[in-house]
Amino acid sequence: MADDRILLRMCRMSGHEMKFIMEAFEGEWVVPLGPNVSGFEKDLEKFLREGCRVVALSSGTAALHLGLLMLGVGEGDEVMVQTMTFSASVNPVRYVGAVPVMVDSEPSTWNIDPDLLDKAIADRVEATGRKPKAIIAVCLYGMPADYDRLLQVAEKWDIPVLEDAAEAFGSSYEGRRCGTFGHFGALSFNGNKMITTSGGGALVCPDEESARKAMYYATQARLGYAYYQHEEVGYNYRMSNISAGIGRGQMIVAEDYIAHHRHRQEYYSEHLGGVDGIELHENPDPRFDSNFWLCTALIDPALRIKGQDRAYSSAITGTVGGAGGVTGQGASIHTDCEPNANVEALRLALAEKGIETRPLWKPMHRQPVFAGFPAYVNGVSESLFHRGICLPSGPYVTDRDADRVIESIMELIEKK
Ligand X SMILES: *Cc1c(COP(=O)(O)O)cnc(C)c1O
Residues lying near ligand X in the complex (CB under 6 A): 59-61, 85-86, 88-89, 138, 164, 166-167, 188, 190, 201
Print the SS3 string covering 346-386. Answer: HHHHHHHCCECCEECCCCHHHCHHHCCCCEECCCHHHHHHH
Q: How many residues does the chain have?
A: 416
SS3 content of the chain, % helix, strand, coil (to 5): 40, 15, 45
Bridge partners for 53 per DSSP = 205
Element (DSSP H or E) covering residue 100 = strand 99-103
Nearest CB to ligand X, comparing residues 59 and 393: 59
Nearest CB to ligand X, comparing residues 267 and 292: 292
Q: How far is the CB of 63 from ligand X (least distance, A)?
A: 8
Q: How far is the CB of 89 from ligand X (least distance, A)?
A: 5
Q: Specify whether the CB–CB gap between 272 and 409 falls below 8 A.
A: yes
3-state secondary structure of 183: coil
Question: What is the Cα–Cα distance from 365 to 237, expressed in whole angstroms?
Answer: 28
Nearest CB to ligand X, comparing residues 87 and 383: 87
Nearest CB to ligand X, comparing residues 177 and 304: 177
Neighbours of 374 (CB within 10 A): 18
Q: Specify whether the CB–CB gap between 80 and 114 falls below 8 A.
A: no
Q: Specify whether the CB–CB gap between 27 and 251 falls below 8 A.
A: no
Q: How far is the CB of 177 from ligand X (least distance, A)?
A: 16
Nearest CB to ligand X, comparing residues 109 and 190: 190
Neighbours of 287 (CB within 10 A): 14
Q: How far is the CB of 4 from ligand X (least distance, A)?
A: 28
Give the CB-nearest residue to ligand X. Answer: 60
Q: How far is the CB of 56 from ligand X (least distance, A)?
A: 12
Q: How far is the CB of 288 from ligand X (least distance, A)?
A: 17
Q: How far is the CB of 241 from ligand X (least distance, A)?
A: 18
Q: Specify whether the CB–CB gap between 343 and 389 falls below 8 A.
A: yes
Helices 254-272 and 399-412, axial angle in degrees (round to 10): 30
Of 233, 229, 205, the closest CA to residue 70 belongs to 205
Nearest CB to ligand X, comparing residues 55 and 88: 88
Q: How far is the CB of 390 from ligand X (least distance, A)?
A: 12
Nearest CB to ligand X, comparing residues 250 and 340: 250
DSSP at 105: B
Nearest CB to ligand X, comparing residues 137 and 349: 137
Question: What is the Cα–Cα distance from 98 to 162, expressed in whole angstroms?
Answer: 14
Strand segments, DSSP code E, in 134-211 are 134-138, 161-164, 172-173, 176-177, 184-188, 201-205
Q: How far is the CB of 257 from ligand X (least distance, A)?
A: 16
Question: What is the Cα–Cα distance from 381 to 320, expressed in whole angstroms?
Answer: 20
Nearest CB to ligand X, comparing residues 190 and 340: 190
Q: Specify whether the CB–CB gap between 101 and 90 falls below 8 A.
A: no
Nearest CB to ligand X, comparing residues 10 and 412: 10
Q: How far is the CB of 243 from ligand X (least distance, A)?
A: 11
